[in-house]
Amino acid sequence: MADSSNGSSEPVVCKYKLPTVKFTKLFINGEFVDSLSGKSFETIDPRTGQLIGRVAEGDKEDVDLAVKAARHAFDNGPWPRLSGFERGRIMMKFADLIDGHVEELAALDTINAGKLFSIGKAVDIPQAAHGFRYYAGAADKIHGEVLKMSGELHGYTLHEPIGVVGHIIPWNFPSNMFSMKVAPSLAAGCTMVLKPAEQTPLSALYYAHLAKLAGIPDGVLNVVTGFGATAGAAVASHMDIDKVSFTGSTEVGRVVMQAAATSNLKSVSLELGGKSPLIIFDDADTDKAAQLALIGILFNKGEICVASSRVFVQEGIYDELVKKLVEKAKAWKVGDPFDPSVGHGPQVDKKQFEKILSYIEHGKREGASLLIGGKPSGDKGYYIEPTIFADVKEDMLIAKDEIFGPVLSLMKFKTVEEAIKCANNTKYGLAAGIVTKNLDVANTVSRSIRAGIIWINCYFAFDKDCPYGGYKMSGFGRDMGMEALHKYLQVKSVVTPIYNSPWL
């Protein structure tokens, strides 16, 4: 099995000084407040399964208050009426404040989501700050265009903020997702209500505190913690929310879209599940390809919607690559996410932990060959060993369903045409990877796979300027890039007659 930390069967819990949880109430209209019901819910440390604390449980009435604040801030407040430059200046200050609290924010995501502390400090939190700077730079570049009308008319377009936005974000990347949703909508001039996942509410509340310090006006950003079936449903169905942006499972995305349709037909963007293929051709460097395959499934303990959970290997290098992949997995260290030598920490909660283990049992029963892993790691917390299955058939559950854990399915192919067919044999279309030295193959395959982002000889190559989203049941709409800004804008055409003009 993979190294479970220092040769022990139980991951070592590091003696890092845990952060003090400062914010546990709802953030509405610039203030931290209790839920109207007075209810709260537990938030759990997945490293141990023990209680971190209790967080205010918002529901429909609290969402109503938050939307009222956001609506007032949009209709009457300064934020949409500030120049783009002024909005950008405040967002830059917000980014600076995030940079000043990197360690505390990273620690909150570690104790709340089981994320690696070292990656949080080096990547997640700096990237959240970078997201605010990127869209701060775009805030004063929002403009329409002059139209060439066919008659004696002058026409132009305006890009106006869409209004009050409801953001519903998942638990696997709490900081990245907060920035990914909030930054472009702030730049556009929108106001918003954000509901973080109930598993990981802590960093979102801290970001709300920093937003206040940065000078974002009251009511512009509201954070309502609570459960999807109550607070999330209230956001999706609210008659005074103009747009919902949701990242999460395809099943819940369907419910969000239905709620939007049956309420006020609000605009919806959805970034949903994935079952992404990584296709490795015979000419690939097997060591590099094995490393990409390993990182593609084990990064963030497999809790990432673009995980390369289906790896297709051309038959000429299949045996060699599988051998290297298993060797690398054996050296992978599972343990406390505060330990800088660890490869991945615990799954986010008990429910996800048990779901992943049930899929592993499905894989065994359906006849896939378990090469490594397949078991919990340790006696405490929600740790699972890196798990690799070979001899996987495309109709097996482990090859069809999004598992969202460190479970890899290996399959063999012969031809380019077969690889394309297998890659597209899924209801999802979020991402794909291609490993080859042949440019013609890379071009053909990248244009043939129905997915929103294709990585060639790399994986997880995200960038703030690179749009990201899905085909098919992986959703629609794009995060990141200028496309993300545009989805929070309405296009208005303005036309006026031209009299006695010497030219049109």
Cα(121)–Cα(457) distance, rounded to whole angstroms?
Answer: 26
Amino acid in the structure at residue 162: I
Other C-beta atoms closer than 10 Å to the C-beta of 113 total 31
Cα torsion 124, 127, 131, 132: sign = positive
271 catalytic? Reply is yes
How many Cβ atoms sit within 10 Å of the Cβ of residue 329? 25
Can you give the three-state secondary structure of 241-275, one letter per residue? CCEEEEECCHHHHHHHHHHHHHCCCCEEEEECCCC
- Provide the CA 369 distance to its chain's centre, in angstroms: 31
**CA-to-CA distance for 236 and 222, rounded, in angstroms?**
15
**What is the secondary structure of 32-67 as a DSSP string?**
EE--TT--EEEEEETTTTEEEEEEE-B-HHHHHHHH
For residue 114, give the H/E element and its range.
none
- Out of 31, 104, 152, 271, the active site residue is 271
Q: What is the DSSP letter of 172?
A: S
Backbone angles phi, psi at 161, to 5 degrees: -60, 140
How would you class 424 by CB atoms within 10 Å of its CB: exposed for 0-12, middle for 13-18, buried for 19 or more? Answer: middle
Residues written for the chain: 504
3-state secondary structure of 204: helix
Q: DSSP alpha helices (H): ranges in 55-194?
A: 60-76, 84-99, 102-113, 117-119, 125-138, 174-188
d(CA 267, CA 242): 7
Spell out the residues 6+ positions from residue 38 whose beta carbon is closer than 8 angstroms to its own.
none
- The DSSP code sequence of 417-480 is HHHHHHHH-SSEESEEEEE-S-HHHHHHHHHHS--SEEEES-SS---TTS-B--EETTEES-BS
Q: Please give the radius of gyration of the chain, using alpha carbons only, rounded to the nearest integer.
A: 24
Active site residues: 271
